[in-house]
Chains A and B, each alone.
Chain A
Amino acid sequence: MTAVLETPPTVTTTVDARGSFCPGPLMELIRAIRESQVGDVIAVLSSDKGSKLDIPKWIEKAGHRLVSLTTLDGYDEIVVQKAR
Chain B
Amino acid sequence: MQRIVILGGGVGGTLTANLLARKLGKRIDRGEVDITLVDALGAHVYQPGFMYIAMGGEREQRLSRPERSLLDAPVNLVVDTAIRIDEGARTIVLAGGAALPYDYLVLATGCRIVPESIEHFDTEAEHFYTAAAALHLRHALDAFTGGRIVVGIAAMPYKCPPAPLEVAFLIESELRERGLREKSEVHFCSPIGRAFTIESVSEMATPIFAEKGIELHTFFNVDAIDPERKVVLSLEGEELPYDLLVLVPPHKGQQLVIDSGLAPAPGGWLPTDRHTLRVGGRPNVFALGDATDLPLSKAGSTAHFEAPVVVEGIVAAVEGRQPAGKHATYEGRVMCFFEVGDGKGTLLRFDYEHPPTPPEPNAIWHLGKIVFNKTYFHTVPRGRV
User: Do A23 and B237 touch across chains, with their CB atoms under 8 A apart?
Assistant: no
Which residue on chain A has the smallest CB distance to residue B220?
A61
User: Do B191 and A61 touch across chains, with their CB atoms under 8 A apart?
Assistant: no
User: Is B184 among interface residues, defined by CB-CB distance under 8 A?
Assistant: no
User: Do B219 and A62 touch across chains, with their CB atoms under 8 A apart?
Assistant: yes
Q: Give the secondary structure class of A's interface.
A: helix
Within 8 A of A (CB), among B321-378: none
- Give chain A residues whose Cβ lies under 8 Å from the Cβ of B157: 27
Which residue on chain B has the smallest CB distance to residue A23?
B192
User: Do B235 and A34 touch across chains, with their CB atoms under 8 A apart?
Assistant: yes
User: Do A54 and B295 touch across chains, with their CB atoms under 8 A apart?
Assistant: no
Which residue on chain A has the smallest CB distance to residue B155?
A27
User: Do A26 and B192 touch across chains, with their CB atoms under 8 A apart?
Assistant: yes
Given A20-B295, A23-B156, A33-B235, are A57 and B219 also a contact pair (CB < 8 Å)?
yes
- Choose among A27, A34, A58 the residue that contacts B193 (Cβ–Cβ < 8 A): A58
User: Do A30 and B221 touch across chains, with their CB atoms under 8 A apart?
Assistant: yes
- Give chain B residues whose Cβ lies under 8 Å from the Cβ of A63: 236-237
Which residue on chain A has the smallest CB distance to residue B266?
A31
CA distance A33 to B219 in the complex (A): 14
User: Do B156 and A61 touch across chains, with their CB atoms under 8 A apart?
Assistant: no
CA distance A62 to B223 in the complex (A): 12
Given A61-B219, A63-B237, are A22 and B197 also a contact pair (CB < 8 Å)?
yes
CA distance A26 to B218 in the complex (A): 13
CA distance A84 to B234 in the complex (A): 13
- Give chain A residues whose Cβ lies under 8 Å from the Cβ of B236: 58, 61-63
State the interface size on chain B (CB cutoff 8 A).
Answer: 14
A 20-40 to B, binary, CB cutoff 8 A, 1 in contact else 0: 111110110010011000000
- Give chain A residues whose Cβ lies under 8 Å from the Cβ of B191: 23, 27, 30
- Give chain B residues whose Cβ lies under 8 Å from the Cβ of A30: 191, 221, 235
CA distance A30 to B193 in the complex (A): 13
B 222-238 to A, binary, CB cutoff 8 A, 1 in contact else 0: 01000000000001110
- Give chain A residues whose Cβ lies under 8 Å from the Cβ of B295: 20-22, 24
- Give chain A residues whose Cβ lies under 8 Å from the Cβ of B219: 57-58, 61-62
Which residue on chain A has the smallest CB distance to residue B219?
A61
- Give chain B residues whose Cβ lies under 8 Å from the Cβ of A54: 192-193
Query: With contacts A21-B295, A27-B155 known, what are 17 further pairs, Cβ within 8 A?
Result: A20-B295, A22-B197, A26-B192, A27-B156, A27-B157, A30-B191, A30-B221, A34-B235, A54-B192, A58-B193, A58-B219, A58-B236, A61-B219, A62-B235, A62-B236, A62-B237, A63-B236
Sample 30 A-B pairs with CB under 8 A, ordered by A number: A20-B295, A21-B295, A22-B192, A22-B197, A22-B295, A23-B156, A23-B192, A23-B197, A24-B295, A27-B155, A27-B156, A27-B157, A27-B191, A33-B235, A34-B235, A54-B192, A54-B193, A57-B193, A57-B219, A58-B193, A58-B236, A61-B219, A61-B236, A62-B219, A62-B235, A62-B236, A62-B237, A63-B236, A63-B237, A84-B237
